[in-house]
Amino acid sequence: MDYSENVLKLQPSATIAVSTLAKKLAAEGRDIINLGAGEPDFPTPPWVSSAGVEAIQAGQTRYTPAAGTPALRAAVGEYMAGGTAHSTDPQRIVVTAGAKQALFNACFCLFGPGDDVLIGSPYWTSYPEIVNLARARPVPVFGNEDRGFKLSPDDLEAAYTPAVKGLIISSPSNPSGAVYTAEELAAIADWCKTRGVVVISDEIYREIYFGSEGLRAPGLLDLPAAGLGTVVIVNGLSKSFAMTGWRIGFSWADPDLTKKMSALQSHVSSNASTPSQLAALRALTKPDLASATRSEMVAAFRRRRDLVMGLFDELAPRCGYVRPEGAFYLYFRVDALFDGTYGSSADVCTGLLEEVGVAVVPGSAFGDDRYARMSIASSDAELEEGVRRMARVLGG
Ligand code: PMP
Ligand code: GLU
């Protein structure tokens, strides 16, 4: 088949592929521990789900405006910018079918042929693909490994050319779990503003933060208004409210850009699912319930992070890892195994699946073949068993 140049480089999502394969093997009766999936293992809180059910039963099943219902856009504006120096204006918000669509809207509206987009690396696997779909060029940029790969203005300056139009970062990071401090974000925002580079800040793991109890990880909107040039903040409910299947994300941006992204979405997919929007509205307008849900989830992720780090230190000391300060992954090195049996992170991950029945994602999916990523969004028992099994291959 002669495909259009639009999709010539397109590959399916590696994170989804690993998880799908693990589920298939488990359905065939294999004893598989799936640590590939990047989704909370908690159910959507019932007080949120019930709003979706009630919406369906009340017949709220028709189109809404493409950018979302006015009530939800207002609630999202408040959620993203409330209490900051920035505007909560609903005209800055597009409600999308998952954060993925918000990232796509932003890249497709801002970048095109001849543009380079710097990508904080290791990166979430979809960023380069989304930039490619906009026909721009993704340029991975790694910070210092000792700082959890976080970027500094010097790293960005070294990668800068006049073709650079944008930067994509995620904090807390998928896959590394590294979290930028407000000062580090300010330095990056300042560099981007000076260079006229748009920042797309993916803050979808902001609520899953192990720093100060009860606080979200620092975000770009914590900075003073004068510190920001053109920015798009992406967030959503997939992770923070365990709502991956409901497909609710959103963006905060300048009202003109928001209009353009909404126009794009009006032709590509229209509004995010209407009952999901009603559930999202409930999620964002019950702060006491939300905070109790979040505390419970974050406490579990923190406990599991500590458990898994302890097991790695004890059982696989040759596999260094980035200490996760947020999100729900452990990003660990596997290159000590590149000794003839295994030549790449994909080989190691295939070996782990075949030999000990544990699914994790090769670092090549995130731009660094020396690593692999395991999800810690599984029960403590599964995590313990999963790491013990992996250690039979990784230990030594
Ligand atoms: N950004 C990051 C860093 C992610 O890990 C994910 C997980 N899929 C997304 C965006 C997309 O989230 P959603 O399911 O809301 O599209
Ligand atoms: N974000 C998750 C992950 O990285 C879910 C899968 C995906 O959307 O890529 O595993």
- Name the pLDDT band for 157 (thresholds 50, 70, 90): very high
Contacts of 132 (CB under 8 A, 6+ apart): 9, 10, 138
pLDDT at 218: 97
pLDDT at 270: 98
pTM over 0.95: yes
State how far the Cα of 195 lies from the Cα of 192, in Å rounded to an integer: 5
Tokens 């849900």 identify what position? 293
Kindly list the distances between the CA atom of residue 90 and the CA atoms of 77, 79, 250, 253, 259, in Å, as whole numbers in the listed order.
5, 11, 11, 10, 11
pLDDT at 386 over 90: yes
Q: From ligand 2's centre to the CA of 15, what distance in Å?
A: 5
**Domain residue ranges in the chain:** 14-43+290-394, 60-285
Contacts of 394 (CB under 8 A, 6+ apart): 315, 316, 318, 319, 334, 337, 348, 352
State how far the Cα of 255 lies from the Cα of 213, in Å rounded to an integer: 34
Mutate to test the pocket of ligand 1, among 131, 239, 329, 375 (most ligand atoms within 8 A of CB): 239
* Closest residue to atom 3 of ligand 2, CA basis: 38
- Name the pLDDT band for 95 (thresholds 50, 70, 90): very high
Q: From ligand 1's centre to the CA of 337, what distance in Å?
A: 30
Residue-wise pLDDT tens digits, 330-373 = 999 999 999 878 999 999 999 999 999 999 999 999 999 999 99
pLDDT at 170: 98
Mutate to test the pocket of ligand 2, among 11, 13, 123 (most ligand atoms within 8 A of CB): 13
DSSP 39: S
State the closest ligand 1 atom to the C-alpha of 238, by its place in the atom list counted from 1: 15
State how far the Cα of 154 lies from the Cα of 99, in Å rounded to an integer: 29
pLDDT at 321 over 80: yes
State how far the Cα of 53 lies from the Cα of 45, in Å rounded to an integer: 13
- Return mean pLDDT, the chain: 96
Q: From ligand 1's centre to the CA of 6, what distance in Å?
A: 22
Tokens of 65: 């405006």
State how far the Cα of 122 lies from the Cα of 128, in Å rounded to an integer: 11
Kindly list the distances between the CA atom of residue 380 and the CA atoms of 60, 360, 386, 387, in Å, as whole numbers in the listed order.
39, 16, 10, 11
pLDDT at 393: 94
* Nearest ligand to residue 19 Cα: 2
pLDDT at 315: 96
Kindly list the distances between the CA atom of residue 367 and the CA atoms of 69, 119, 176, 222, 230, in Å, as whole numbers in the listed order.
38, 10, 12, 29, 26
Average pLDDT over residues 92-115: 98
Name every protein residue with a CB atom under 6 angstroms from any ligand 1 atom. Answer: 38, 98-100, 124, 170, 174, 202, 204, 236, 238, 244, 249
State how far the Cα of 25 lies from the Cα of 355, in Å rounded to an integer: 13
State the closest ligand 1 atom to the C-alpha of 102, by its place in the atom list counted from 1: 16
Residue-wise pLDDT tens digits, 14-72 = 888 888 888 888 999 999 999 998 899 999 999 999 999 999 999 999 999 999 999 99
CATH number listed for the domain at residues 60-285: 3.40.640.10
pLDDT at 265: 98
Mutate to test the pocket of ligand 1, among 174, 176, 250 (most ligand atoms within 8 A of CB): 174
Cis peptide before 172 (omega within 30 of 0): yes
% of the chain beyond a pLDDT of 90: 91
pLDDT at 104 over 80: yes
Q: How many CB atoms lie within 10 A of CB 339?
A: 9
pLDDT at 37: 80
Average pLDDT over residues 123-129: 97
State how far the Cα of 382 lies from the Cα of 80, in Å rounded to an integer: 34
Tokens 């989830």 identify what position? 297
Residue-wise pLDDT tens digits, 165-200 = 999 999 999 999 999 999 999 999 999 999 999 999
Question: In degrees, to the nearest 5, what angle opens at C-alpha 270 toward C-alphas 268 and 272?
Answer: 120
Q: From ligand 2's centre to the CA of 376, what distance in Å?
A: 13
pLDDT at 394: 93
State how far the Cα of 305 lies from the Cα of 204, in Å rounded to an integer: 18
CATH number listed for the domain at residues 14-43+290-394: 3.90.1150.10
Name every protein residue with a CB atom under 6 angstroms from any ligand 2 atom. Answer: 13, 15-16, 38-39, 124-126, 174
pLDDT at 282 over 80: yes
Tokens of 323: 């200490």
Average pLDDT over residues 260-267: 98
State how far the Cα of 238 lies from the Cα of 332, in Å rounded to an integer: 24
Tokens of 27: 């359905």
Q: From ligand 2's centre to the CA of 366, what distance in Å?
A: 11
| Cβ atoms of residues 283 and 290 within 8 Å | yes
Q: What is the DSSP string of 283-295?
A: HHT-HHHHHHHHH
pLDDT at 212 over 90: no
Residue-wise pLDDT tens digits, 304-319 = 999 999 999 999 999 9
